[in-house]
Amino acid sequence: MSIRFLKVGFRYARGLPWETEALKNINLEVRKNEILGIIGPTGSGKTTLLQLMNGIRHPSEGKVLIDDQDPAVLKGREITRLRQKVGLVFQSPEDQLFANSVYEDIAFGPKNLGVAGSELDNRVRWAMEVLDLGFEDLSRRRPQNLSGGQKRRVAIAGVLAIKPEYLVLDEPTAGLDPEGRKGLLKLIRKLREDLGMGVVMVSHRLQDIMSTCDRVVVLEKGEIRKTGTPREIMRSGQELIELGLHLPPINMVLHELKDVFPYLDTAALGPEEAAGEIDRAIRGL
Ligand SMILES: Nc1ncnc2c1ncn2[C@@H]1O[C@H](COP(=O)(O)OP(=O)(O)OP(=O)(O)O)[C@@H](O)[C@H]1O
Ligand SMILES: [Mg+2]
């Protein structure tokens, strides 16, 4: 089971003078049960790539197959069922919240799919529980009056209530404080472990991607520049800097120290590994 991109290209405003080629020759497979990270400078095509994953946009060239089915050729109920497999959470959660209560907001997706009665109620309660949103405290509140972190969780709960098999998140940690960010990253890992979901996340915070993902794709000007494990990607730190990406602070420190200790490995994942590496370098090992 996977989402596959076969030689995919995407152009906005096709045929118009301001036509933009947002994606070029993308070959990529997102497997179920993996957490895939997508990084790249602003305008490199990350959001466009995510929108092609659940069929809200169709490729201009090539094919996107969701579990071997092509959303571009399906119609009616079949397309609804297929799109239900891939839950997309937008870049800013405010875009997705509109109902008068948190309950109604989360219930909206499953209701549209025909879920009703106690099953609907169970879905909402379940999604709120998974996202650590207290039912008694929050279900009747207006989503517009919640904090940024709570809004983000309600938006994700609304998508989770559809019971997708893949969860696609555009900048899920943007605007959250360190606690909120940590909680959300832990939740992403939990969704994969407990529910076997495939997760795709875009973030410009490389430390969030490196600490959470199994595999990382680097996009540049609409093309895949590199794919690898977080460690493999961090090995090309210099390239990431040249692309204009900000390395995690601890890797920036290692890069600075490399002038003094040329054999230093700058690809450490997290402060503990980095401390070990610096210790080794200082002791001349
Ligand atoms: N609705 C649109 N109409 C026309 N061009 C668009 C549209 N949305 C995006 N683009 C263009 O497509 C390219 C890719 O945009 P996209 O939003 O996918 O980038 P991104 O990597 O998500 O950027 P960011 O990090 O800023 O969110 C950019 O050149 C952008 O200007
Ligand atoms: Mg974007």
For the segment 137-154, what is each residue's pLDDT rounded down to a tens digit?
Answer: 999 999 999 988 889 899
Q: What is the pLDDT of residue 180?
A: 84
Read off the pLDDT band of 284 (50, 70, 90).
Answer: confident
45 ligand 1 Cβ < 6 A? yes
Task: List pLDDT tens digits, range 79-117.
Answer: 888 889 999 998 887 677 889 999 999 999 999 989 999
| φ and ψ of 193, to 5 deg | -70, -50
Q: What is the pLDDT of residue 75?
A: 86
CA 223 to centroid of ligand 2, rounded, Å: 15
Average pLDDT over residues 28-38: 96
Beta-carbon contacts of 7 under 8 Å, excluding residues fewer than 6 positions away, are: 25, 26, 27, 61, 62, 63
Q: How far from the centroid of its chain's Cα atoms is residue 253's Cα? A: 27
Q: How far is CA 114 from CA 44, 79, 162, 249, in A?
A: 37, 15, 11, 47
pLDDT at 156 over 80: yes
Q: Percentage of the chain with pLDDT > 90?
A: 74
Task: List pLDDT tens digits, range 219-259.
Answer: 999 999 999 999 999 998 889 999 999 999 999 999 889 88
203 ligand 1 Cβ < 6 A? no
Beta-carbon contacts of 255 under 8 Å, excluding residues fewer than 6 positions away, are: 237, 238, 241, 247, 266
Strand partners, 70: none
Alpha-carbon distance of 154 to 203, in angstroms, equals 19
Q: How far is CA 83 from CA 67, 96, 109, 172, in A?
A: 11, 17, 12, 20
Mind listing the domains of the chain with CATH numbers?
2-230 (3.40.50.300)
Whether 37 contacts 201, CB under 8 Å: yes
Q: Which residues surround ligand 2, an ion (CB under 5 A)?
A: 46-47
CA 20 to centroid of ligand 1, rounded, Å: 9
Residues in the chain: 285
Atom of ligand 1 nearest to the CA of 44: 21
Identity (one letter) of the amino acid at 130? V
Cα angle for residues 91, 94, 98 (degrees, 5° grid): 135
Residue 67, SS3? coil
**Lowest-confidence pick of 8-12, 24-28, 54-58:** 54-58
84 ligand 1 Cβ < 6 A? no
Name the residue of 8, 12, 203, 243 to mutate for ligand 1: max ligand atoms within 8 A of Cβ: 12
Alpha-carbon distance of 145 to 141, in angstroms, equals 7
Q: What is the pLDDT of residue 49?
A: 98
Average pLDDT over residues 202-216: 95
pLDDT at 65 over 90: yes
pLDDT at 127 over 90: yes
43 ligand 1 Cβ < 6 A? yes
Atom of ligand 1 nearest to the CA of 18: 4
Alpha-carbon distance of 80 to 61, in angstroms, equals 23
The verdict on pTM exceeding 0.85 is yes
47 ligand 1 Cβ < 6 A? yes
Q: How many CA atoms lie less than 13 Å away from 246 in the CB half-sphere?
A: 8
Q: What is the pLDDT of residue 285?
A: 67
Q: What is the pLDDT of residue 1?
A: 87
Q: What is the pLDDT of residue 16?
A: 94
